[in-house]
């Protein structure tokens, strides 16, 4: 019944700091470009409260995840696929694994397609989704073939490259109207909760530690990096939402699809203009580790269920499927729909399924007579 523990060689593991960079990449992909529009819809100038609450709510979930994984370490490999199979048995466990795999797949496709949409609107109206996603997936293939450590490397470099984008907030100061933030707490809790629900989409991604946890050296030290990463994400999103509120009027921010991108257009250097184009190209970087990690997780899932299929062959199939799915999504309207759908699934996954899984693990351990 228990999955065969397949020990992972130390040379394929990454240091505890990897958790920081991977969580950063999975959480901050391209959401900070449109977070303002999503969140201010229901709670206007109080949206930052919802973002703050959303960020804070990730901490207990992260605690649950880490606790779940730590407890699981004594029963074999501590990743979600093994956990589900151990707790729910082979049949239900495999079905849950399939659902989780679909979630991961949806994750990568949603982000890939929204980035392509952004590039098509902002830079190349004629950019072919197919050609771009093929080129993109070739790079992803090259990285995933190098293994987990390469994915960590790419996400580290992604973090470095995104820094100038975050620092670009400085330019908002001369144009900021801080009085836009007033009055504080004007909205009812229900409205704030609606905004909170809308921004689960931006915070989602830290739960991927469930998949790569066995690949971390010294997992005890990784804990602090995980929390630190959540804190950084919270800070970045808070800054961006405040930027959106103080730079735009409420009517404008709710009608702009990518408020941050529009803000970038106002930045001017004497040497070159249109920083927004350069920044949206840098955004491309954030997608590489994200899609790579998702594909890597999927290859591991397939290997777990069908041990005969080699990862390097299933990877090709996954990437082809990614390309095809991205190609099937036609226009911005569908991308929006996909994002909404993903938001709901993400909410369920984080706030319902993970506590439930924790409970199930506790019950399972209780019934098998082993104390946690």
Partner 1 sequence: MFWKKRRLKKTDPQTPAKSIVDLLKQLKVNPDFTHFHHKGPHFSCWVSFMQTLVDVDYVHRDVFPYLYSNQVHCLSDVQTILPFEEIIRTKELSVIQSKLLEGFIVIQESENKPDCLIIPSIKVQGRQVEQTEIETSILGSHEGFVESIDTNINLIRKRLPIPQFQIKELRVGKISRTRVCVLFVDGIANKENLNTVVQRISDLEVVSLIDATMLALHIGDNNHSLFPQFIDTERPDRVAGALYEGKVAVLVDGSPNALIMPSTIVEFFAAFDDYFLVWPIATAYRLLRLFAVAFSIVSSSLYVAVLTYHYQLVPKDLMGALIVSRSSVPYDPVIEVLLLEIMIELLREAGARLPTKVGQTMGIVGGIVIGTASVQAGVASNILLIIIAMSALAAFITPNYRMATTIRFIRFPFILFAEVLGLLGIALCFMLFVCHLIKLTSLGRPYIEPIYPLRVTDMQDAYIRLPFNFQNRRPQFLRTGDADRTNPQRAREKVGKQSPDIDE
Q: Is 315 in the site for partner 1 (CB under 8 A)?
A: no
Q: Helix 18-27 to helix 148-167 angle, to the nearest 10 degrees?
A: 60
Stretch near partner 1 under the rule CB under 8 A, chosen from 2-10, 35-43, 117-125, 215-223:
117-125
Q: Is 367 in the site for partner 1 (CB under 8 A)?
A: no
Binding mask 3-22 for partner 1 (x = CB under 8 A): -----------xx-x-----
Q: If 0-12 CB within 10 Å is exposed, 13-18 middle and 19+ buried, where does residue 303 land?
A: middle
- Contact predicate 23/230, CB 8 Å: yes
Residue 83 or 315 with smaller CB distance to partner 1: 315
CB atoms within 10 A of CB 113: 23
- Contact predicate 216/79, CB 8 Å: no
- Contact predicate 225/16, CB 8 Å: yes
Instruction: Report the C-alpha dihedral over residues 20, 21, 23, 25, rounded to 10 degrees.
Output: 160
Binding mask 19-58 for partner 1 (x = CB under 8 A): ----------------------------------------
Binding mask 275-304 for partner 1 (x = CB under 8 A): --xx--xx-xx--x----------------
Residue 157 or 176 with smaller CB distance to partner 1: 157
| Residue 207: DSSP 8-state | G
Stretch near partner 1 under the rule CB under 8 A, chosen from 71-79, 87-95, 139-147, 313-321:
139-147
- Contact predicate 353/155, CB 8 Å: no
* Residue carrying structure tokens 């998949």: 211
Which among 233, 188, 272, 214 is positioned nearest to 83, based on CA atoms?
A: 214
Residue 141 or 358 with smaller CB distance to partner 1: 141
Q: Identify residues 161-200 at the interface with partner 1 (CB under 8 A).
A: none
Q: Is 136 in the site for partner 1 (CB under 8 A)?
A: yes
Judged by the rule CB under 8 A, the positions of this chain that interact with partner 1 are 14-15, 17, 119, 123-124, 127, 132, 135-136, 139, 142-143, 146, 150, 152-154, 156-157, 160, 270-274, 277-278, 281-282, 284-285, 288
């Amino acid at each position: 019944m228990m999955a065969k523990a397949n020990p992972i060689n130390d040379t394929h593991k990454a240091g505890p700091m990897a958790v920081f960079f991977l969580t950063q990449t999975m959480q901050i992909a391209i959401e900070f470009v449109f977070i303002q529009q999503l969140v201010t819809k229901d709670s206007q100038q109080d949206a930052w409260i919802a973002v703050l609450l959303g960020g804070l709510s990730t901490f207990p979930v992260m605690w649950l995840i880490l606790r779940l994984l730590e407890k699981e370490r004594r029963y074999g490999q501590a990743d979600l696929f093994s956990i589900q199979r151990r707790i729910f048995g082979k049949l239900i466990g495999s079905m849950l694994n399939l659902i989780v795999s679909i979630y991961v797949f949806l994750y990568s496709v949603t982000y890939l397609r929204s980035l392509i949409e952004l590039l098509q609107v902002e830079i190349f109206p004629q950019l072919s989704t197919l050609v771009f996603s093929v080129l993109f997936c070739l790079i992803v293939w090259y990285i995933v073939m190098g293994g987990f450590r390469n994915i960590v490397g790419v996400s580290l470099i992604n973090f470095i490259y995104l820094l100038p984008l975050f620092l670009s907030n400085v330019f908002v100061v001369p144009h900021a109207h801080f009085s836009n933030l007033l009055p504080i707490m004007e909205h009812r809790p229900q409205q704030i909760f609606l905004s909170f629900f809308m921004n689960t989409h931006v915070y989602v991604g830290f739960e991927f530690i469930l998949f790569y946890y066995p690949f971390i050296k010294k997992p005890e030290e990784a804990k602090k990096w995980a929390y630190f990463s959540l804190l950084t994400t919270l800070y970045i999103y808070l800054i961006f939402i405040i930027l959106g509120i103080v730079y735009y009027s409420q009517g404008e921010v709710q009608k702009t699809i990518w408020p941050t991108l529009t803000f970038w257009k106002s930045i001017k250097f004497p040497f070159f203009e249109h920083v927004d184009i350069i920044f949206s190209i840098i955004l491309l970087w954030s997608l590489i580790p994200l899609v790579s990690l998702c594909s890597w997780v999927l290859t591991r899932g397939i290997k777990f269920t069908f041990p005969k299929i080699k990862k390097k062959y299933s990877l090709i199939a996954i990437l082809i499927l990614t390309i095809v799915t991205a190609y099937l999504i036609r226009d911005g309207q569908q991308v929006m729909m996909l994002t909404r759908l993903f938001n709901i699934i993400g909410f369920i996954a984080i706030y319902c399924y993970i506590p439930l899984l924790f409970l199930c693990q506790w019950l399972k351990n209780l019934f098998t007579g082993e104390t946690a």
